[in-house]
Amino acid sequence: MLKQHAGEAKVFAGGAHVTILMKQGLYQPKALVNIKKIPELKNISFDTSEGLIIGALVTHREIETSSLVKEKFPVLSEAEREIANIRVRNMGTVGGNLASGEPLTDLSQIFIALDGKLRIAGPDGQRAIRVEELFLDFYTTSLAEDEIITQVVLPPPAPRSGIDYIRFSSSSVVDKPSAGVAVRLTLDKEAVQAARIVLGCVGPTPVRAKKTEALVAGKILNDELIGQAGALASQECSPIGDLRGSEEYKRAIVRALVKRALIEAHRKALLL
Ligand SMILES: Cc1cc2nc3c(=O)[nH]c(=O)nc-3n(C[C@H](O)[C@H](O)[C@H](O)COP(=O)(O)OP(=O)(O)OC[C@H]3O[C@@H](n4cnc5c(N)ncnc54)[C@H](O)[C@@H]3O)c2cc1C
């Protein structure tokens, strides 16, 4: 149906995003293709080789309350508790959250830090991409108009890996974050073997702070290195000033969040 109505149709999942844009007159699709009744897209499962598999129609609330998610990736259920409000969490799906390409979101940072993959289906078959390959620009993704996301796949983390996500909202009224930082550290004895540092809401797309990842890799974390990492990461994003804070304010938030998330991810890695 998406192919048949190419350029004129939009996928409709939970409708939390698409309905607002239609009411505001920003979207006026001629057709909505409702995918909500495809049962294969509603499952959460775990496979020892592939990892956690989340269907695109799984809602925020289902991720938040799933005992499987809590057991395998507690960072996700903890993050979900702070996303939007209960109404949006009940309606909004993981596929819609990612496919909207909206920059002020939380899940993409965590998925990228976990080296997550997306399964995508369209008239020409199926393909898979890394989550970070989805985001091209503000509200722009690499999905073709006739493709849908079917699953998010999160591989089991390497031994001695710790992951932390921290989001900061500048006001209790504004429910989208000013910044959100995900950090995954894998340790080799005392030193950091590999680091993933992902900055969200501070640019058109989530971004990996690759220079900061390289700075900490191979080293033993200490206060000085953590301070340097926070400062460097705050320069690896491109926030804009808006009602959630000025550019300088957001860079300062990123600096603080990266430091805290590094400490917490390190603490968790030491426990494993
Ligand atoms: C008030 C409010 C607060 C919010 N706060 C947060 C927050 O704090 N953190 C956060 O992360 N997010 C937040 N969000 C975003 C929210 O998570 C998303 O709007 C929601 O998850 C979208 O999912 P949906 O199923 O409702 O998508 P829909 O509205 O149905 O669709 C959204 C877009 O994705 C496309 N689409 C949907 N599913 C697929 C699919 N499987 N494949 C391809 N394209 C698809 C649609 O065509 C549309 O363009 C907030 C939203 C609102 C309205």
Look up residue 40 and give its two tokens: 């294969």
* 206 in contact with ligand 1, CB cutoff 6 A: no
46: closest CA among 71, 65, 64?
71
User: Distance from the CA of 81 to the center of ligand 1, in angstroms?
Assistant: 16
Ligand 1 centroid–CA 265 distance in Å is 28
Q: What is the pLDDT of residue 254?
A: 98
Averaged over 92-110, what is the pLDDT? 97
Say yes or no: CB of residue 215 within 6 Å of ligand 1: no
Stretch 148-174: mean pLDDT: 90
The pLDDT value recorded for residue 260 is 98
The answer, yes or no, to whether any atom of ligand 1 lies below 6 A from the CB of 88, is yes
Residue 170 pLDDT: 77
3-state SS class at 16 = coil
Between the CA of 16 and the centroid of ligand 1 the distance, in Å, is 6
Can you tell me the distance from the alpha carbon of 11 to that of 19, in angstroms, rounded to the nearest whole number? 11
Mean pLDDT of 73-102: 96
Please report the pLDDT score of residue 173 as a whole number.
56
Q: Which residues of 39-53 are buried (b: 16+ CB within 10 A; e: fewer)?
A: eebbebeeeeeebbb
| E-only strand ranges, 62-172 | 117-122, 125-130, 135-137, 140-141, 148-154, 161-168
* Position 142 confidence tier, pLDDT thresholds 50, 70, 90: very high
Arithmetic mean of pLDDT, 206-232: 98
Q: For atom 43 of ligand 1, which residue has the closest CA?
A: 148
Predicted pLDDT at 9: 94
Report the candidate in 246, 232, 164, 171 with the shortest Cα–Cα distance to residue 202: 246
- The DSSP symbol for 59 reads B
The answer, yes or no, to whether any atom of ligand 1 lies below 6 A from the CB of 188, is no
Q: Is the pLDDT of residue 236 over 90?
A: yes
Average pLDDT in the 163-173 region? Answer: 85
Query: Residue 172: what pLDDT?
Result: 62
> Does the beta carbon of 97 sit less than 6 angstroms from any atom of ligand 1?
yes
Average pLDDT over residues 121-127: 97
Report the percentage of the chain scoring pLDDT > 70.
Answer: 98
Span 238-260, average pLDDT: 96
* pLDDT for 78: 97
Q: Does this model's pTM top 0.95?
A: yes
Query: Is residue 233 over pLDDT 90?
Result: yes
Band the pLDDT of 257: cuts 50, 70, 90: very high
What tens digit of pLDDT does each residue of 195-215 get?
999 999 999 999 999 999 999
